[in-house]
Every structure is written in C-alpha cells, then in structure tokens.
C-alpha cells in the first residue's frame, strides 16, 4: 500500500475545494479502504503524523475499518500495533485526538476480548487511572469509558470493580475531565444493572447521584459548556433506565435542576438544559413527579416565572431559550399530570400575572394558558368564566407584544375550547377586528404583520366552533377584511389569510357560496407556484384552504374547480417541498370525502401518489460512516483545519449525543416518516370515502400499510392501524350493502360473511393484537381503541370471530381500565400506578376510549355481552365511586350504553348496578347526574328483576323531580326519558297525572334527541291503552 498517497489523500480532503474533496473520497474508497493494509496505514498516521487534524481524520476512518479488517491482520503484527496505540495515546497532547485513539483501542479490544486476547490492556489502563500524572488519569478514564461503551456486556461480571474505581475517579481532585469521563462511564454501565437482582449495584449507583451533581455544579461554575452538556446527557440517559437507579435522590435532583433553571444569574444554555431535563422527567417519570408533594405546582409556578422573561424580540422559531423551554415544561405538565396538580396552580397565579405591571408576566400567563388547553381542555373549559374576561383585556393591552401573545394563546384555546367560549364569541370577534384595524395601518411593519397573522390564526382555530348567529353577524365583514390580506406584500400574511378563509368556509358551509368565485379567483394565483421557499409555502396554505372551501360549499358548487385543482395537486408532488406534499395529500382526503371517491381518472393518480410515498425509502440520521469527507460534502463546503477539528468531534460523538428533540421519541424520525404518517392517514380517508370505487386498490393498500404497524415512529404505527381498520370497515359495509343483510348482534354470525371480509379481518386483527398489548405509546393505544370501537359499532361482530381476538381484546381492555397497560406506566416501571392519585386528561383518554370499546363489544354481541360484563363489573364499580367527576360520569354513561345493548341479559346484575346508580343520581357533578338518569331508565326498562328495582321507584322519582327543572348537562332530557322508561316498565307505579304535564312541557327536546324515543313511545302507549291522561295533555299531544 502506498502510505504516502494515503496521507496525501487525507490531507486533500481538508482543502476547501469540493471537487478535490470528492476525488479524494472516491480514491480512498476504491483503492484503499477495501484492503486490510489500509487499517494499518491509518493507524500509523493516527499515531505518528505531525498535524492533529490529519491524526483525527485517520483515527475516525480507522475506527470504521476495525471490525472489517482487524481480524485479517497478521497475528504477529497485532502486539506491536496494540503497544504502539497505548504508547501514542499517552504521549498525545491533543485531547480530542486522545479521544479518537481511545475509541479505536476500544473497538479493537471488543474484538480481541472475544478471542481471549489483549489480556494486559485492562491492567495497563487501570494503572493509568491510578497514576499521579493528571494526563495519565484522563487518558485512562476515557479509555475505560470507551471500552464500557463499546462492549458493555464484557463488564457485566466486573461491575463491582468498575464501581470501586468510579468511586475514586469521580472525586478526582485535579481533573474535571476525569470526573466527566467517570460520569459517562457510569452512564454506559446502566444497561447492565438488573434492579430486581442486583440491589448492591443499584445502591452504589444511587450514591453516585450527589457526586454527579457536584460534577455538574463545578462545570457550571467554570463556564465549561462542553462539560455541562456532557453532564446533562448523562442525567438524561438515567431517565431511559429503571427509575430505581435515581429513586433515592430523585426529588433532590429535580429540585436542584429546578433551582438551576430559575437562576437568572446562570448561563441561558445551562438553564435551558435544566428545563429540558425537567420536561423529560415529567414525561418519563410522571408518576414519580406526581408522588412528590407540591412538585407539580412548583414546576408550574417556576416555569411560569421563567416564561415571563420572554422579551419583545424573542424569536418564535428559537426554541432553545429558557422562556421557550419553560413553555415546553408547561406543555408537558398539562399533558402528563392531573389538572388539579398543575392547572390549578396556574389559575391561582393567572389574575395577578394578567394584571401585572410587568408585560412579561402578562404575556406569560396567556401563553401558558393556551399551551395547557391542549393537555387539559376539559378542566380549563370549566374555568372559562373566570379567565376569559382577563384574556379579553389582554387582547386590548396597550403593549403590542402582549396583544400578540394573547392572540397566540387564544389560537390554542380556540382549537380545543371554541364552543366552551360561546358566551364570549361576540367580544372576541370585536377585539379581533380592533387588532386587525390597528395592524393594517403600516403593511411594511413586521410586528403589524405578526398581529395580522395571529388574528387570522384565531379565526381559523375558532371558526368551526363559533355560534351560527355570530357567523351570520360578522361573517361578511370578516371575509372581506381577511380577503383583502390575500394581496398583502408578506407571503406569510397571505398564507394566514388563506387559512382563515378556508376555516370560515368550512364553518358557514353553503353561506360561503356568494364569496366562492371571488375567493377562488384570488387564491388561484398562488396555486401554480413551482419554485421559491416562500412561494411554495404559500401554495401549500392555499391548497389546504381550497380543500376546506370544498368541504364547506359542497360537491356541486365546487365542481368547476375540482379537476384543475386535482391536476395541479399531482404536479405539486414533484416540486420537492415536503409541506406541499403533505397538504396535497390532505387535499385529496378532503376532495375524496366531498365527492365520495367519484373523482374520475384522478382517483387512480391519488392512489398512485400515496402508494409511491409509502414505498419510498427512509433516510436514516447520518452516522458518519464515511467520516469527515462526506460530512464536508453534505454541508456543501469544506472546512478549515480548526473547523475540521470540531467536525471530527461531532462525528465521533454522533452515536452518543442525544439531541433533546430526538430524545422525545428515543429514536430519530426521518422526514419521510413524518410524510408517510400523513399519507397513511389520508389513504384510510380515501379508501373509506371511495367505498366500492376504491376496491381495485385495497389489496395493495393493505399490503403496503400492514408493515407500518411495526414502524419505529409511533405516528406511523398509529395511522397504519387506523387505516387497516377503516379498510376493513369499508369492505365490510360494501359487502353488507351488496348482500342486503344487515348484521345482527351475537356469535356465531347470523349471516355468512364473504371470504374477502374474513381474510381482511384476519390481517387486521393479527396486526392489532400485538401492538394493542405491548405498545407503550399513549396515543397509539388511544387510536387503536377508537378504531376498534367505531368498527364494532358500524360493522358488528364479524371480526370478533377471528381466532382468540375477543378473548385477547377483553384482556387488553381490562389492563387499560385497571391502568396496568404498558402505555400507562413510567418508562421501565411496572408497579407505580397504584400509588398515583388522579391522572392527566390524556392518560384518562386512554381509559375513556377503552371503555368505548367495551360499549362497542356490547353493541356487537348484544345479550351475549353479559358474560364479558361480569368480568368488568368490579372495575366499572371502582370508577363509579371515583373522586374524579369525569371518571364517574363516563362510567355511568358506559353502564347505560352497555345495559341498552345487553337488554334483559342485564337482569342478574340489577342489584349490583342499581344502588351505585341511585347514589350518582344525587352526584354533585351535573354530567354524572344526567348520565345516571339515563342509566337508571335503561336498567329499569330492560331488567326483569322487578323485585329489586320496584321498591326503589319512589326514591328514583323523588331524585328525578328536581332534575326536570335544571337546564344544564341535558338533565331535563335524560330525566324525562328516565321517567318515561319507568312508566313503560310499570305504568301503575308512577303518578302519571302528576309527572306527565311536566314532561309534555319540555317537548320538543332540544339537546338529547335520543330521549324523544322513550317519551313518544310512552305517550303512544298511554293513549293506546287508554291509561288516564287528562284532557289538556291529550290535546297538546295531538297538536
């Protein structure tokens, strides 16, 4: 091998000339790297070259070749190579070169240890760690870290020896590097510790925690950013392993991080990393956080204080500042902890912040409120009356930046709470118009443009939840005002205006028709853009708006625009803009729904576009396989030697440094995966909308979708399983319509299903069960629950006939309702949920949707469901007596629905259900009382155990009487329905002449239309059998 040429090529790769770099890379790959001698040549450069950047480059390339070529090196050469590497690392003066050499040594040792070779390495390294020379200790400690990281299994039987060493080196009095290396080594050993079997190791690691905190403190005080980051990475790593490893000092660690995050004298980067760690604690150790008294409240209050540091010129796109990281903590708190622990403290502070003289506090409170709305919408909806007057005042604040923050907060509130704010819709629209007018005076002012975009964002989020009267009153004015911004010089303003118009159209539906032609003409100018980042972003927004307009005005009115839009959408896929591709997919979903799949030849193009997306290969995150040369090319420019040195470190650390964003999912997610998530969802929409028109494409669709059930990205898993279930529902409904037989509840099936439905059911049920049992992602399980529930209700029991599906489904539902499912546990925990009190609304949603599956089973099985109900009765009874109103009301509703489907099969359960339902009829929560009235009516109507429920008739009637006067929560409707079911069951036990006038006065029902059925049945039966009705009632009924 030409050693001189190898060196020349390595040096050439650093020249700031792209063509020369490419040529050097090609020659190295072709003529050198395939040969074992290249490894020896690179190692020689690593230990002997005079330039540090060349030595580093050689070491990183050597590291890539060790596994491939070390075994091919002659045995008589290896001892001298090993010895030279150790000698070189001791004399190496450049710390980063030492790290590169350490990794090469570790890679070789991993292979040698397997073959029983290089036995003298560890004694030599341990001698270095005990040396009086600081540099030797730094070298030794980093080699230890590299060895443990590269081959942790080798050290499984040597943990006690390692921990004995670490107890000394983490206290090194002279070297911060030794202490940091030790922390990283401890982190690398965590995977070897079995907390159930090795209590001594657990205890030892726990005692390292305060020492590691001291290391972090020292790095912070020294202002050593690199070391600070390494310390935080170690603490982050602990969150991925058994919580027992941190248990003893977890509270102290969280408190330390919180104090560090709120210390305004500390560096912003340090504070941001502390806040990032806290956000991950809330996500991955939520039960631990919940179990620390007042910690949730303290996290919320102090995060709010940090958020109030938000400056007027803070960049919305910069998410690594302390205020932005604090907002992320607030978001995590709302999503993962019970509202009473975190939302109540926010609301306690809200008024003082909203009326503060400090603009930062005024901004902070409304941004925090909006952020929490997604995580706890139900709880916040109950507080609207107290917070909306303050929010409205902030929308009129003299400070423009405060008004902007209030608008941003209102966007989030509108997404989840638009209907809850109905009382304030008029005032909201008035303040929006005021802000629009104030911002329209100077189009060139960037702050004004932000206000306009935010107002359009509020309109978009609120539009579909606004009362019809409000839209009738303000719709014309809003359409003209917003439409004018389609000619604004700022493309982002145009995008926001398009989004608002689309939302208005979707809200007012056919009332938008008078504005359709003018709006589409204005938007059409932007749907043909084919280049320019801003132009394609605008095209994307316009594409989305047009889809929503189509949904609003309907197929006939939009028919003039649909074909040109479809042609343009297919071209959009080839413009290289990810967002435009995604909005194109969504447009297809909207148009397929509007036209029920009747899109002519374009339907084939839609399926082809979606299939092509799902078949594209996903690019992994770069791992530096080809070293610095490719990194330089990838970034489009060459580096000077100093930059190359930094780049080298980046490459060397690629496999170890968990970016905070990537940590959220524990694995990196490619851009293609995000796009495929959208495509999978849209494919399900199109299949279901097209019905029989999509039949030619379903087989291939299922073939492509099924593998995504095992995708590493939870978004793809979730949408894949949903699309499989919708495909099954589509085929089932089409076949049912063709057969003319409506499904009937119960197994075995009353009518034989087609082989196509049976085969698809087998695929869907098989794909579902494993994911449903094991997936630890909350959203995935929630969506599976929704898919199964809706399909059972729509398609009946056919899929329950798949082998063991019913038994396994029931078992999974029990684990979810009892909060023992993997998605309900802290990471790597199995027994913490029992001690937790309450849950976040997202956690409850998992249970809520599982209960909906239970109702789906009842719907599909009918009277046979009684056997399954018996296994759930105690779990439901526990929810009936919950301290949380939402849990009680939901459980009562589940009882009611299940009883209605079971029919008389509920009879054996009458006594166990009646008493708790009677108790709930006096519940403090109106929703629970309303559901209880409905449930008792169902129970009495269907049960044949009159000996149990008849003695309670008077008590039931006395509790129903006041409910007939309460207009909230459908109480009047459900109480009236209950009374009528009682009459239908036993007319002789109800004072008809007393109750009937009250019920008739409530007609027609205006909220719960389902309860009209028992009421009119009751009146009909009373007339039919001439049961006593006074003349007035008979007349009113007849009229």
Angle 700-702-706 (CA atoms, 0-180°, nearest 5)? 130
Inter-residue contact 938 to 900 (CB < 8 Å): yes
pLDDT digits (tens, 9 = 90+) for 549-576: 999 999 999 999 999 999 999 899 888 8
- pLDDT, mean of residues 511-522: 94
For residue 967, what pLDDT band results from cuts at 50, 70 and 90? confident
Query: What is the structure's pLDDT at 658?
Result: 37
Residue 32 confidence (pLDDT) above 70: yes
Query: What is the structure's pLDDT at 1025?
Result: 67
Inter-residue contact 451 to 407 (CB < 8 Å): yes
pLDDT digits (tens, 9 = 90+) for 864-886: 999 999 999 999 999 999 988 88
Query: What is the structure's pLDDT at 643?
Result: 39
Inter-residue contact 342 to 333 (CB < 8 Å): yes
For residue 742, the SS3 value is coil
Please tell me the distance from the alpha carbon of residue 498 to that of residue 480, in angstroms, as a whole number. Answer: 12
pLDDT digits (tens, 9 = 90+) for 577-634: 899 999 999 999 999 999 998 998 899 999 999 999 999 887 654 333 333 223 322 3
Query: What is the structure's pLDDT at 713?
Result: 92
Query: What is the structure's pLDDT at 645?
Result: 36
List, in sequence order, every beta strand (DSSP E) within 204-294. none
Helices (H) and strands (E) in the chain, counts: 51, 0
Distances (CA, A) of 384 to 646, 660, 814: 52, 34, 35
pLDDT digits (tens, 9 = 90+) for 61-96: 999 999 999 999 999 999 999 999 999 999 988 988
Least confident among 111-120, 646-655, 907-916, 989-998: 646-655
Please tell me the distance from the alpha carbon of residue 311 to that of residue 386, in angstroms, as a whole number. Answer: 27
pTM: 0.84
Mean predicted lDDT score pLDDT of the chain: 88
Inter-residue contact 880 to 888 (CB < 8 Å): yes
For residue 1008, what pLDDT band results from cuts at 50, 70 and 90? confident
Inter-residue contact 542 to 526 (CB < 8 Å): yes
Q: What are φ and ψ of residue 673, in 5° steps? A: -65, -40
Query: What is the structure's pLDDT at 835?
Result: 42
Query: What is the structure's pLDDT at 88?
Result: 93
Q: Name, in order, each residue with C-beta under 8 angstroms of 556's C-beta and a sequence gap of 6 or more.
A: none
pLDDT digits (tens, 9 = 90+) for 1014-1033: 988 888 888 876 654 554 44
- pLDDT, mean of residues 737-742: 87
pLDDT digits (tens, 9 = 90+) for 198-244: 899 999 999 999 999 999 999 999 999 999 999 999 999 999 898 89
Residue 667 confidence (pLDDT) above 50: no
Sign of CA dihedral 589, 593, 594, 596: positive
Please tell me the distance from the alpha carbon of residue 289 to that of residue 282, in angstroms, as a whole number. Answer: 6
3 state SS for 393-422? HHHCCCCHHHHHHHHHHHHHHHHHHCHHHH
Please tell me the distance from the alpha carbon of residue 936 to that of residue 978, in angstroms, as a whole number. Answer: 7
Q: How is residue 55 written in tokens?
A: 């030595």
For residue 670, what pLDDT band results from cuts at 50, 70 and 90? confident
Query: What is the structure's pLDDT at 2?
Result: 83
pLDDT digits (tens, 9 = 90+) for 487-504: 999 999 999 999 999 999
Return the higher-pLDDT residue of 298 and 528: 298
3 state SS for 947-993? HHHHHHHHHHHHHHHHHCCCCHHHHHHHHHHHHHHHHHHCHHHCCHH
Find where tokens 């155990």 sit: 945
Percent of the chain with pLDDT over 90: 69
Residue-level length of the chain: 1039
Inter-residue contact 467 to 422 (CB < 8 Å): yes
Query: What is the structure's pLDDT at 659?
Result: 36
pLDDT digits (tens, 9 = 90+) for 364-391: 999 999 999 989 998 999 899 999 999 9
Sign of CA dihedral 63, 65, 68, 73: negative
For residue 10, what pLDDT band results from cuts at 50, 70 and 90? confident
């Amino acid at each position: 091998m030409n050693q001189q040429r190898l060196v020349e090529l390595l040096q050439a790769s650093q020249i700031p000339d792209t063509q020369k770099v490419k040529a050097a890379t090609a020659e190295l790959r072709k003529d050198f790297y395939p040969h074992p001698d290249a490894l020896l040549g690179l190692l020689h450069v690593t230990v002997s070259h005079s330039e540090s950047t060349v030595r580093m480059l050689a070491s990183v390339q050597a590291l890539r070749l060790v596994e491939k070529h070390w075994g091919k090196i002659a045995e008589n050469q290896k001892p001298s190579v090993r010895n030279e590497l150790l000698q070189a690392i001791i004399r190496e003066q450049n710390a980063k070169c030492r790290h590169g050499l350490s990794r090469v040594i570790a890679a070789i040792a991993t292979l040698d240890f397997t073959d029983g070779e290089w036995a003298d390495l560890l004694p030599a390294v341990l001698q270095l760690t005990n040396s009086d020379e600081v540099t030797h200790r730094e070298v030794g400690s980093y080699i230890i870290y590299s060895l443990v990281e590269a081959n942790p299994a080798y050290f499984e039987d040597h943990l006690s020896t390692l921990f004995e060493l670490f107890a000394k080196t983490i206290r090194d009095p002279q070297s911060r590097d030794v202490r940091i290396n030790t922390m990283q080594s401890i982190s690398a050993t965590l995977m070897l510790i079995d907390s159930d079997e090795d209590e001594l190791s657990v205890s030892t690691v726990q005692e390292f925690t305060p020492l590691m905190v001291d290391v972090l403190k020292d790095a912070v005080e020294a202002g050593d950013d690199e070391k600070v980051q390494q310390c935080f990475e170690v603490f982050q790593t602990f969150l991925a392993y058994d919580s027992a490893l941190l248990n003893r000092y977890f509270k102290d660690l969280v408190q330390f991080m919180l104090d560090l995050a709120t210390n305004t004298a500390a560096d912003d980067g340090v504070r941001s990393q502390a806040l990032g760690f806290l956000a991950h604690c809330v996500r991955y150790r939520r039960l631990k956080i919940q179990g620390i008294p007042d910690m949730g409240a303290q996290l919320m209050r102090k995060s709010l204080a940090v958020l109030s540091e938000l400056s007027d010129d803070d960049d919305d796109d910069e998410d690594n500042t302390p205020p932005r990281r604090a907002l992320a903590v607030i978001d995590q708190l709302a999503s993962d902890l019970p509202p009473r622990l975190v939302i109540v403290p926010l609301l306690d502070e809200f008024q003082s912040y909203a009326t503060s003289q400090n603009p930062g506090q005024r901004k902070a409170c409304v941004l925090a409120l909006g952020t929490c709305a997604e995580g706890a919408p139900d709880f916040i909806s109950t507080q609207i009356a107290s917070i909306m007057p303050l929010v409205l005042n902030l929308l009129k604040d003299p400070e423009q930046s405060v008004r902007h923050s209030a608008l941003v907060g209102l966007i989030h509130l509108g997404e989840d709470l638009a209907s809850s704010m109905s009382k304030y819709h008029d005032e909201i629209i008035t303040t929006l118009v005021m802000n629009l007018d104030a911002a329209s005076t100077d189009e060139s002012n960037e702050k004004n443009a932000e206000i306009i975009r935010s107002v359009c964002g509020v309109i978009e989020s609120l539009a579909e939840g606004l009362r019809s009267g409000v839209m009738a009153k303000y719709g014309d004015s809003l359409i003209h005002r917003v439409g004018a911004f389609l000619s604004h010089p700022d493309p982002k303003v145009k995008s926001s205006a398009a989004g608002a118009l689309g939302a208005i159209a979707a809200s007012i539906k056919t009332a938008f028709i008078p504005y359709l032609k003018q709006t589409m003409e204005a938007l059409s100018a932007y749907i043909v853009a084919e280049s320019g980042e801003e132009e394609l972003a605008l095209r994307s927004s316009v594409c989305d708006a047009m889809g929503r307009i189509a949904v609003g005005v309907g197929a006939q009115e939009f028919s003039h625009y649909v074909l040109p839009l479809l042609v343009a959408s297919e071209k959009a896929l080839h413009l290289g803009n990810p967002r435009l591709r995604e909005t194109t997919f969504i447009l297809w979903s909207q148009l397929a729904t509007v036209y029920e799949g009747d899109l002519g030849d374009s339907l084939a193009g839609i399926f082809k576009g979606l299939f092509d997306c799902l078949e594209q290969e996903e690019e992994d995150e770069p791992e530096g396989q080809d070293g610095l040369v490719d990194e330089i090319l990838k970034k489009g420019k060459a580096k000077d030697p100093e930059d190359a040195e930094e780049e080298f470190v980046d490459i060397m650390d690629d496999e170890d440094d968990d970016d905070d964003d990537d940590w959220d999912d524990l694995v990196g997610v490619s851009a293609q995966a995000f796009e495929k998530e959208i495509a999978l969802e849209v494919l399900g929409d199109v299949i279901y909308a097209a019905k029989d028109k999509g039949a030619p494409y379903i087989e291939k669709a299922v073939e492509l979708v099924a593998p995504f059930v095992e995708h590493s990205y939870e978004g793809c898993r979730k949408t894949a399983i949903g699309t499989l279930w919708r495909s099954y529902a589509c085929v089932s409904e089409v076949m049912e319509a063709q057969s003319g037989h409506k499904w009937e509840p119960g197994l075995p099936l009353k009518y034989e299903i087609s082989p196509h439905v049976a085969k698809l059911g087998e695929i869907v049920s098989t794909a579902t069960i494993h994911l449903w049992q094991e997936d630890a992602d909350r959203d995935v399980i929630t969506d599976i629950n929704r898919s199964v529930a809706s399909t059972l209700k729509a398609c009946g029991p056919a899929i329950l006939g798949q082998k063991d599906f019913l038994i396994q489904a029931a078992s999974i539902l029990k684990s979810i309702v009892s909060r023992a499912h993997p998605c309900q546990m802290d990471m790597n925990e199995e027994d913490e949920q029992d001690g937790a009190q309450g849950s976040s609304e997202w956690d409850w949603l998992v249970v809520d949707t599982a209960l909906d599956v239970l109702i789906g089973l009842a719907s599909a099985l009918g009277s046979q469901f009684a056997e399954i109900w018996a296994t759930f009765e105690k779990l439901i009874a526990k929810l009936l007596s919950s301290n949380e109103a939402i849990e009680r009301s939901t459980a009562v509703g589940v009882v009611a629905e299940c009883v209605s489907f079971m029919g008389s099969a509920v009879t054996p359960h009458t006594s166990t259900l009646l008493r708790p339902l009677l108790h709930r009829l006096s519940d403090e929560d109106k929703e629970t009382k309303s559901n209880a009235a409905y449930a008792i009516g169902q129970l009495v109507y269907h049960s044949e155990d009159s000996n149990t429920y008849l003695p309670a008739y008077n008590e039931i009637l006395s509790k129903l009487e006041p409910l007939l006067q309460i207009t909230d929560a459908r109480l009047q409707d459900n109480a009236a329905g209950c009374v009528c079911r009682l009459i239908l069951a036993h007319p002789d036990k109800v004072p008809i002449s007393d109750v009937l006038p009250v019920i008739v006065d409530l007609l027609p029902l205006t909220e719960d239309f389902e309860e009209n059925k028992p009421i009119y049945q009751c009146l009909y039966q009373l007339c039919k059998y001439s049961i006593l009705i006074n003349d007035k009632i008979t007349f009113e009924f007849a009229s």
